[in-house]
Structure 1
Amino acid sequence: MSEESKVELSGDSLSLADLVHIVESSDIASIKKTVSEIVNVINDPESSAKQLKDIIELDPPLSAKLLRLANSAFYGYTKRITSIQEAIVCIGFDAVKDLALSQKVSQLFDKYDKIRDYSRDLLWKHSVAVALFCKLLYRREYRELGENSYVAGLLHDLGLIVEDQFIPILFSYILEKSEARGTSLYQSEKEVLGFDHTEIGGAILAGWDLPDELVTAIASHHDPLRVGGDFAKLALSLHVSNYAVQKAGIGYSDMPRIDLPLFDQCRRQLNELAGSKINETALGLILEEVEKSISVMESTGWFSHGR
């Protein structure tokens, strides 16, 4: 089925496997190779900056977008950057890695239709904010790099894009149902489809050669307490980041229909796992930095011209 095709089936006749099969031959799958290669480079302690450079340079449109943003006021580098190698030297490996991931993932959000309070533009802003928040949570509270924290934020709502693109009538009905009843979006998805956007995203990304920790976090970010072992921290952190960004109203928000008691449980469990003290003050400081970053990104064309 072509990318333009739409699946308009009743909730009873649509399966999760149907959607995954359709996505595998769509434009959504086109980012799979580059995203998985970048993620695997940043998760490999033996990898080099040259490997990242080589991946980016094989994708000329990505290289062009990255260089344009590397030269923006957001990074504040006065000398003009003219190559990926120079970008890595001037603004750093970490910044180039995040830029490459965000600009590749942003291709999924190239649709400007609005459905009720939802649009891909708003969802993109929300996703970037969650990525920034989750990364800062790892750096500030856990004193860890959190290699998968940023991309987890970028991709956590992939399932919503799939619903929007391939089952728009059902998706509109789900949004309407959620708003009318004051329930969370994922609860309405469960009632209509039998599964939700976290399950869609997890099922798709399971075939992308990504770390299990990352796929698990995305597949469970509305039910992170079920995740145990080494994968628990990222799943809990992604939920906390998503909640904080939604509460602040950055981009698309499902507030006030998200679960406050669950958020508090996740925060307490993270403090036990990481030996951290994640309280309202700590989260507020992270949010303040995220809001500043989003504001500068908006003023330098990140959201209006970066895709």
Structure 2
Amino acid sequence: MSGSITLFDTAEGDLDEIAWRIREVSAIMPQLVMEIIRIINDPRSLAIELQVAVERDPSLAARLLRTANSAAYGLRRRVGTVRDAISYLGYNEVKNLAITASLADVFKTDATVGCYSRKGLWRHLVSVAAASRFVASRCGIRRFEEAYMAGLLHDFGLILMDQFLHKVFNDIVRAVASGRPLCECERQRLGFDHTQLGERVACHWNLPASTMAAIRYHHRADACESDSRPIAQAVEIADFLCSAKQRSAVGIGRVDSPSGSTFAALSIDRQGYTVLWDDLDRELVKADVLMALE
């Protein structure tokens, strides 16, 4: 976030009003990225359409190539063109990289308050993205590749609060540092929490249903009643694991454990959890490589 645009210095304004005003000025998700998402979600689209869209932004194309050639992917031959990157990585991975690159620009300017830092939130988002896809894949979730985007955007509401409700957000972070749950502090101060704000602002972007479900239900996936519940459950578990590994959203590694029914729904028993915990470290190393690419 290159600075903050404080729309509300106080808690005045209901959720609908605040979400509407944020949508009016928000450029967090560039139009080009929305076009890339549209192309990939359209089963009739062609690879050349995606190539042309990426090449419209030279910086995005360059970052895509750097990422494809990074140690995180370990391709056997060097990728030299956007066309080759699409061919090697596939549509969904190009979409994930495009969104990651766009969000990275939002976090170029760091800011801290107490235990919170924007760079720490960015590390959390990329980590949960990688962890969500990892958990979803291990648990045999159909269309598990959607979990990356769901994990990357799950705390979208926190990004919005930091950028557009900055002074109020700072107060919330200070309250969290005293040991109170994040969502409880948000609801007391604002009347809603970051899951509700994130969903309300993102709803007009035509994001995948699984991403919207993760934004809204990543702290209580059992409440999700749509077909996207398994992805939301994978994101909730990934959020918990990453926070326990000191990659938390607001600098405090305490996130409530998902319910037993959430673990059971994904067939994760005590032994399976231990394996996930141990194996996740390798995925987080890859996330760190992606985060370091400028």
- TM-score by length of structure 2 reads 0.87
Residue aligning to 1:228: 225
1:93-108 counterparts in 2 under 5 A? 93-108=91-106
Residue aligning to 1:71: 69
Q: Is the 8 A contact 1:113 1:119 kept in 2?
A: yes
Q: Is the 8 A contact 1:240 1:263 kept in 2?
A: no
Residue aligning to 2:196: 199
1:265 paired with 2:261, answer yes
- The Cα of 1:40 is off from its aligned counterpart by 4.0
- The Cα of 1:37 is off from its aligned counterpart by 3.4
1:54-65 counterparts in 2 under 5 A? 54-65=52-63
Residue aligning to 2:9: 9
Question: What is the aligned residue count?
Answer: 292
1:24 paired with 2:23, answer yes
Q: Is the 8 A contact 1:247 1:255 kept in 2?
A: no
Residue aligning to 2:80: 82
Unaligned 5+ runs, structure 2: none
SS in 2 for 1:29: coil
- TM-score by length of structure 1 reads 0.84
Residue aligning to 1:274: none
1:156-175 counterparts in 2 under 5 A? 156-175=154-173
Residue aligning to 2:187: 190
Higher relative contact order (CA 8 A, sep 6+): 2
For the residues of structure 1 that align with 2:159 and 2:114, how far apart are their CA atoms? 15
For the residues of structure 2 that align with 1:284 and 1:62, how far apart are their CA atoms? 38
Distance of aligned partners of 1:38 and 1:138 in 2 relative to their CA distance in 1, 3 Å threshold? farther
For the residues of structure 1 that align with 2:260 and 2:35, how far apart are their CA atoms? 35
Residue aligning to 1:155: 153
For the residues of structure 2 that align with 1:34 and 1:17, how far apart are their CA atoms? 26
Residue aligning to 2:241: 244
Distance of aligned partners of 1:147 and 1:35 in 2 relative to their CA distance in 1, 3 Å threshold? farther
1:303 paired with 2:287, answer no
Residue aligning to 1:279: 269
- The Cα of 1:4 is off from its aligned counterpart by 5.2
Match of 2:122 among 121, 124, 127: 124
Letter in structure 2 aligned against 1:291 = D
Residue aligning to 1:133: 131
Distance of aligned partners of 1:121 and 1:142 in 2 relative to their CA distance in 1, 3 Å threshold? same
For the residues of structure 2 that align with 1:147 and 1:43, how far apart are their CA atoms? 13
For the residues of structure 2 that align with 1:32 and 1:152, how far apart are their CA atoms? 18
Letter in structure 1 aligned against 2:159 = I
Unaligned 5+ runs, structure 1: 272-276
Distance of aligned partners of 1:19 and 1:110 in 2 relative to their CA distance in 1, 3 Å threshold? farther
SS in 2 for 1:99: helix
Residue aligning to 1:292: 282
Indicate the RMSD between aligned Cα atoms, in angstroms: 2.6
For the residues of structure 2 that align with 1:149 and 1:184, how far apart are their CA atoms? 25
For the residues of structure 2 that align with 1:112 and 1:68, how far apart are their CA atoms? 23
Return 167-176 or 85-94, whichever deviates more: 85-94
For the residues of structure 1 that align with 2:244 and 2:45, how far apart are their CA atoms? 37
Match of 2:216 among 195, 214, 219: 219
* 1:254-289 deviation digits (Å, cap 9, x = unpaired): 6554222x4333212x23xxxxx2134434444444
For the residues of structure 1 that align with 2:20 and 2:154, how far apart are their CA atoms? 19
* 1:116-143 deviation digits (Å, cap 9, x = unpaired): 1111211111111111111122222125
Distance of aligned partners of 1:264 and 1:48 in 2 relative to their CA distance in 1, 3 Å threshold? farther
Distance of aligned partners of 1:215 and 1:93 in 2 relative to their CA distance in 1, 3 Å threshold? closer
For the residues of structure 1 that align with 2:5 and 2:232, how far apart are their CA atoms? 33
Q: Is the 8 A contact 2:39 2:49 kept in 1?
A: yes
